[in-house]
């Protein structure tokens, strides 16, 4: 289709422009005695060094307790992730994340273990990739990585987020992992930092999670610009097909923002996914806005509003969330929230949800 070809050309052109800009930035860095800043996610800077090998081992874990409307109270060891990284004195580095999901569930109705279809134990390879850093402005990645769409997906580790639940738009409209190649970096623009990534996935998912629907083919681009004054603006574009949805071609457009002032935070994402199946359009779209404010000490109040319109539903879901997050020790966070929805055609759980998470 002409529109599909146009999107592919647009993504390739944008990637070329980003590569050209990164080359210019690299030349500027070479002439300067100082390099760029550290753009690594916070989760990758934790852990424990394994002697002098250059390897670093860390991870995070989360346990949840829920009392949803119409259901039995239950407690779950939601996940334990092990993070293994390696950094040499050269330009090469390595990172992997192996996650055990839904390891134990205790249901109040029978005080026993419940391993039903909705809570199946699983061992998932979230990430496994090698990076080559030409400069801060231009780096190359190959392997399995988190799909760079929006903000939540790339920082979804439980100790780093403000709520136990995840916005629907950040996980229901696209595969959250991709296997392939990526070029990425941070370049200066008008006195501020522009973080960019361009990636391609040929569709051979590395150890796909059971029950998932990975990319069959994907081409994507993400930009994240630090405007100043604590404000960041992002945009995402990806064209893809999924392995188990034959004959469907999808294009996703997304924008996001993050504003931080002292200990206050306001963030949000909006995504619109166009799906073409045998000539018929079936669009899906949604958004969320989340506010965080300090209350007492390291106790924060959190409020979020979500909308979600699936491709096969009538009125879209409206989900309201209010809760607390207590960061009582470095790397630890306890969360409590209440969720209620209207037009809940997707059967999203409503009621109380709490969790405790640790980053180690």
Look at residue 44 and tell me if it is in a domain.
no
Per-residue pLDDT tens over the stretch 89-120: 889 999 999 999 888 888 866 544 443 344 56
pLDDT at 24 over 90: no
Question: How high is the pLDDT of residue 110?
Answer: 53
Look at residue 45 and tell me if it is in a domain.
no
Structural domain range at position 262: 2-33+55-359
Pairing of strands 280-281, 248-261: unpaired
Per-residue pLDDT tens over the stretch 245-271: 877 899 999 999 999 999 999 999 999
Q: Which two tokens stand for residue 347?
A: 């059967």
**CATH code of residue 342:** 2.40.160.10
pTM: 0.83
Burial of 225 (0-12, 13-18, 19+ CB in 10 A): middle
d(C-alpha 94, C-alpha 322), whole Å: 38
pLDDT at 316 over 70: yes
Q: For the chain, what is the domain count?
A: 1
39: left (phi over 0), alpha (psi -120 to 50) or beta: alpha
Look at residue 320 and tell me if it is in a domain.
yes
Residue ranges of the alpha helices (H) in 167-210?
none
d(C-alpha 215, C-alpha 179), whole Å: 8
Look at residue 220 and tell me if it is in a domain.
yes
> Residue for token digits 């996001």?
256
pLDDT at 149 over 50: yes
Q: What is the DSSP string of 292-335?
A: EEEEETTEEEEEEEEEEE-TT-SSPEEEEEEEEEEEEETTEEEE
Question: How high is the pLDDT of residue 279?
Answer: 56
pLDDT at 13 over 70: no
Residue, of 48 and 7, whose pLDDT is higher: 48
d(C-alpha 316, C-alpha 311), whole Å: 10
Look at residue 236 and tell me if it is in a domain.
yes
180 and 218 in contact (C-beta within 8 Å)? yes
CB-facing half-sphere around the CA of 8: CA atoms within 13 A: 11
d(C-alpha 344, C-alpha 233), whole Å: 30
Question: How high is the pLDDT of residue 117?
Answer: 41
Look at residue 117 and tell me if it is in a domain.
yes
Per-residue pLDDT tens over the stretch 333-343: 999 999 999 99
DSSP class of residue 279 equals T
**Average pLDDT estimate for 330-353:** 95
Q: What is the DSSP string of 26-74?
A: HHHHHTSSS-------GGGG-SEE-TTSSEEEEEEEEEEEEEETTS--E
270 and 252 in contact (C-beta within 8 Å)? no
d(C-alpha 39, C-alpha 241), whole Å: 30
Look at residue 131 and tell me if it is in a domain.
yes
Look at residue 46 and tell me if it is in a domain.
no
**Average pLDDT estimate for 126-144:** 97
């Amino acid at each position: 289709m002409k529109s599909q070809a146009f999107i592919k050309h647009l993504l390739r052109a944008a990637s070329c422009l980003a590569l050209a800009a990164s080359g210019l930035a690299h030349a500027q860095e070479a002439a300067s005695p100082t390099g760029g800043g550290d753009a690594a996610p916070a989760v990758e800077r934790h852990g424990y060094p394994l002697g002098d090998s250059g390897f670093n081992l860390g991870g995070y874990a989360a346990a949840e307790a829920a009392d949803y409307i119409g259901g039995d109270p239950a407690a779950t060891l939601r996940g334990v992730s092990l993070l293994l990284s390696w950094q040499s004195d050269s330009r090469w580095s390595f990172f992997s994340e192996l996650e055990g999901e839904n390891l134990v569930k205790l249901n109040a109705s029978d005080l026993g273990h419940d391993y039903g279809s909705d809570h199946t134990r699983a061992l998932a390879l979230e990430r496994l990739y090698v990076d080559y850093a030409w400069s801060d402005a231009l780096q190359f990645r190959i392997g399995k990585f988190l799909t760079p769409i929006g903000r939540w997906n790339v920082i979804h580790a439980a100790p780093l987020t403000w709520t136990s639940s995840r916005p629907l738009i950040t996980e229901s409209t696209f595969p959250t992992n991709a296997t392939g190649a990526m070029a990425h970096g941070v370049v200066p623009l008008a006195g501020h930092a522009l973080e960019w990534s361009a990636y391609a996935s040929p569709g051979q998912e590395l150890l796909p999670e059971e029950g998932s629907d990975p990319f069959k083919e994907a081409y994507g681009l993400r930009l994240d610009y630090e405007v100043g004054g604590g404000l960041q603006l992002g945009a995402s574009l990806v064209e893809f097909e999924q392995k188990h949805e034959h004959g469907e071609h999808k294009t996703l457009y997304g924008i996001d923002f993050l504003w931080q002032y002292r200990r206050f935070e306001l963030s949000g994402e909006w995504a619109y996914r166009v799906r073409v199946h045998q000539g018929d359009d079936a669009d899906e779209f949604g958004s969320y806005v989340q506010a965080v404010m300090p209350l007492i000490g390291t106790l924060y109040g959190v409020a979020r509003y979500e909308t979600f319109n699936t491709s096969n539903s009538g009125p879209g879901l409206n989900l309201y969330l209010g809760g607390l997050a207590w960061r009582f020790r470095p790397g630890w966070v306890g969360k409590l929230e209440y969720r209620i929805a209207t037009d809940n055609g997707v059967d999203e759980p409503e009621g109380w949800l709490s969790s405790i998470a640790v980053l180690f």
